[in-house]
Amino acid sequence: MTAPTAAVIGQLARDLILTVDELPEPGSSGAAGSRREQLGGKGANQAVALAQLGVRPSLVAVAGDDVIGDVLLAQARRDGIDVRSVIRRPGALTGLIVEILEPGGAYRYVEHLPPPVLLGEQDVLRARDTIAAADAVLVQLQQPAEAALAAARIGHEAGRLVVLDGEIKDESILAYADVVRADEKESGGIVLGRGPRLQAIAEQDGNLFVWEGGQIKIPLADAEVVDTTGGGDAFVAALTAALLGGQSYEEAARRATAASGATVGHAGGRPDLRDV
């Protein structure tokens, strides 16, 4: 049986994670307890998770033409990701996300994601064949609205499963979506009937799933949370994989919540879902 495929439209970046016992005072320095450097960004995280779950992912993203871009793309290939639709932007530095993680899961991000390493509408249109050929199209709404809209439209017109992740800033995109995932702050209320068939809302005490004629709330697992970074990305990937596998909304909801729980138990957003 051929594995399903997915096109992920989103961010690729170098993730640098530093753990600290406490933040140094202004004008002073402090030691990091540990350091991780890895392939990251929401798009890459979701693509890694999909590959671990048996879905063949293609990544539509932007990398600089620097050596860091070379290193990250090499890692993506080892992770089983098709990176032929990743744009190498001349003269740009590959995106960087620095996470400073304190005990108890408190984090601070310092990001360098300037416009050259974000997707433009023309970048997405050049990847049309990749997007239209995939069984599912995952669109991160943190990317510029024109690019996100173009990707969702291509997926919808090709009859693919279109999954939106993040805050809906332009409601016209809802007409092209099958699934919307957001947190309480991003959701802005239920959007069923305006395109999506399923909405997943991350709440403080669990994940709420709503569809026509039904809903379910899956409580969060009673486990230590080390770092919430990447939990949403694992959630979206597992939800997509379950739906592509023909699972019911309730089954997909449980799988997505389990994947998120497995990811927040370690530092950094890189998933490890091979046992989920």
List of residues 6+ apart from 2 with CB closer than 8 A: none
Above 90 in pLDDT, residue 77? Answer: yes
96 beta partners: 14, 112
Above 70 in pLDDT, residue 190? Answer: no
Percentage of the chain surpassing pLDDT 70? 97
Above 70 in pLDDT, residue 50? Answer: yes
List of residues 6+ apart from 119 with CB closer than 8 A: 9, 10, 60, 61, 62, 87, 143, 144, 147
Q: Which residue has the higher pLDDT, 193 or 268?
A: 268
- Residues 239 and 229: their CA atoms lie apart, in Å, by 17
- As a residue count, the chain comes to 276
End-to-end CA distance of the chain: 20
- Residues 260 and 227: their CA atoms lie apart, in Å, by 11
CATH fold for the domain made of 5-24+32-263: UDP-N-acetylmuramoyl-L-alanine:D-glutamate ligase (3.40.1190)
pLDDT averaged over every residue in the chain: 93
Above 90 in pLDDT, residue 70? Answer: yes
Domain ranges of the chain: 5-24+32-263
**Cβ–Cβ under 8 Å, residues 156 and 163:** no
**Mean per-residue pLDDT for 223-247?**
91
**Mean per-residue pLDDT for 230-242?**
94
Tokens of 88: 């190498």
pLDDT at 188: 61
List the one residue out of 182, 225, 175, 218 whose CA is nearest residue 200.
Answer: 182
**Cβ–Cβ under 8 Å, residues 192 and 211:** yes
